[in-house]
């Protein structure tokens, strides 16, 4: 067979380096989007890659960089709005950064299963592990991990950590209660989430501290389980005083609560003002439209990915971040107390 009939050899990283006039290490940095490459050099390498139609295989890239550009994402095996939104938005951010996400689910309250899944992901040579944590024991277990790659957790905690990211549940709760206080309410109850859920703990802490700051009584909270069913059950049984208010730890429990109160012939906000937390897509279309605390899950997903990139590329620069702010969305489930100053 003549040379003319032979298939042309595919370009490799050394061909790109020769054409661009740089080292193969520089080509590797450009391919993997690493820092410390001058813009003009990066442009020259990208032009050489395009000209040679060079396409590095994932295996070759891993051999050069010792990285797989794969992140293990461990999520709780539940369909609640917050955790699923966090996982979805993190996956979007990872894809934008040209990382593959290996997503797995574990029981939400089982530290042993979580550790076992982390060990499994380590055997797959992922570059980092990200966890969405909804249970206090799992959070404590994650804090005690000692592994060779970065582990980033999305979890509410009163203590900042360089490898934790969160939305400010505490200040979000305080803003909800402050809104009710400003409307003239002096009796503000709380329907809390599960006692072992970090988000619920922080929201209850914010509710309590805002009441204390305004010298108001702190009633005993009633705990639900995040579901509309638990909100309905509580709404069927709870005592409602005239001109009182309720801060509910999430919107899904609020959906059940509103249904139960309506069946009891009670008006929201006529008899009781209600504030939720999350701003789920249904919140604006409930009857009445729900005043609630909005969380920016897209921003949290991006922050998680930024934290991963820093932890992988420049681990010495990773510092604790301020939790992302929330936003109070005022609709018509709250009203001013008649005659209040």
pLDDT at 191 over 60: yes
- Residues 173 and 271 reside in one and the same domain: yes
What's the CATH code of the domain at 33? 1.10.260.40
pLDDT at 2 over 70: no
What's the CATH code of the domain at 177? 3.40.50.2300
In a domain, 330, yes or no: no
Pair type for strands 151-154 and 164-165:
parallel
Across 274-300, average pLDDT: 96
Alpha carbon distance, N-terminus to C-terminus of the chain: 96
In a domain, 76, yes or no: yes
pLDDT tens digits along 45-62: 989 988 888 876 554 555
- Residues 181 and 221 reside in one and the same domain: yes
- Residues 151 and 175 reside in one and the same domain: no
- Residues 207 and 146 reside in one and the same domain: no
Burial track 145-174 (b if 16+ CB lie within 10 A, e otherwise):
eeeebbbbbbbbbeeeeebbbbbbbbbbbb
- Residues 150 and 112 reside in one and the same domain: yes
Can you give the residue range of the structural domain that contains 307?
Answer: 70-167+297-323
- Residues 74 and 88 reside in one and the same domain: yes
Half-sphere exposure of 139 (CA within 13 A, CB side): 20
Of 88-92, 143-147, 247-251, the least confident? 143-147
Candidates 271, 289, 280, 304; CA nearest to 152 is 304
244 Rama sector, left if φ>0, alpha if ψ -120 to 50, beta otherwise: beta
pLDDT at 64 over 80: no
Q: What is residue 9's predicted lDDT score, i.e. its pLDDT?
A: 62
In a domain, 63, yes or no: no
> How many domains is the chain partitioned into structurally?
3
Higher pLDDT, 112 or 275: 275
Token output for 188: 């503000």
- How far is 274 from 272, CA to CA, in rounded Å? 6
Asked whether the beta carbons of 271 and 245 are under 8 A apart, the reply is no
- Residues 152 and 174 reside in one and the same domain: no
- Residues 183 and 288 reside in one and the same domain: yes
274 phi and psi angles, rounded to 5 deg:
-130, 130
Fill in the DSSP letter of residue 285: G
Asked whether the beta carbons of 42 and 20 are under 8 A apart, the reply is no
Q: How confident is the model at residue 7 (pLDDT cuts 50, 70, 90)?
A: very low
Of 73-87, 176-190, 275-289, the least confident? 73-87
Candidates 282, 292, 298; CA nearest to 334 is 292
């Amino acid at each position: 067979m003549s040379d003319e009939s032979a298939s042309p050899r595919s370009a490799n990283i050394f061909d790109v380096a020769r054409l661009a006039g740089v080292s193969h290490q520089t080509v590797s940095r450009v391919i993997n989007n690493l820092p410390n490459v001058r813009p003009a050099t990066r442009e020259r390498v990208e032009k050489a890659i395009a000209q040679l139609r060079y396409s590095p295989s994932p295996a070759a890239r891993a051999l050069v960089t010792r990285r797989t550009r794969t992140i293990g994402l461990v999520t709780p095996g539940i369909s609640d709005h917050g955790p699923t939104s966090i996982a979805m938005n993190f996956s979007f951010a990872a894809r934008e950064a040209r990382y593959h996400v290996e997503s797995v689910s574990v029981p939400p309250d089982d530290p042993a299963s979580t550790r076992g899944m982390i060990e499994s992901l380590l055997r797959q040579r992922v570059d980092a592990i990200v966890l969405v944590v909804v249970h206090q024991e799992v959070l404590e277990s994650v804090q005690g991990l000692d592994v060779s790659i970065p582990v980033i957790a999305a979890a509410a905690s009163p203590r900042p950590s360089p490898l934790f990211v969160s939305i400010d549940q505490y200040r979000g709760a305080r803003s909800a209660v402050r809104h009710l206080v400003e409307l003239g309410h002096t009796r503000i109850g709380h329907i809390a989430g599960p006692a072992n859920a970090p988000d619920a703990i922080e929201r209850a802490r914010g509710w309590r501290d805002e009441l204390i700051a305004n010298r108001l009584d702190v009633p005993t909270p009633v705990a639900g389980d995040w579901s509309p069913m638990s909100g309905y059950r509580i709404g069927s049984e709870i005592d409602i005083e005239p001109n009182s208010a309720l801060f509910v730890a999430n919107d899904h429990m609020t959906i059940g609560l509103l249904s139960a109160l309506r069946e009891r012939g009670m008006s929201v906000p006529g008899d009781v003002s209600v504030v939720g937390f999350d701003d789920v897509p249904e919140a604006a279309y409930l009857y009445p439209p729900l005043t609630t605390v909005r969380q920016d899950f897209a921003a949290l997903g991006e922050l998680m990915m930024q934290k991963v990139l820093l932890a992988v590329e420049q681990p010495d620069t990773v510092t604790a971040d301020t939790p992302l702010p929330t936003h109070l969305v005022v609709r018509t489930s709250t009203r001013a107390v008649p005659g209040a100053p």
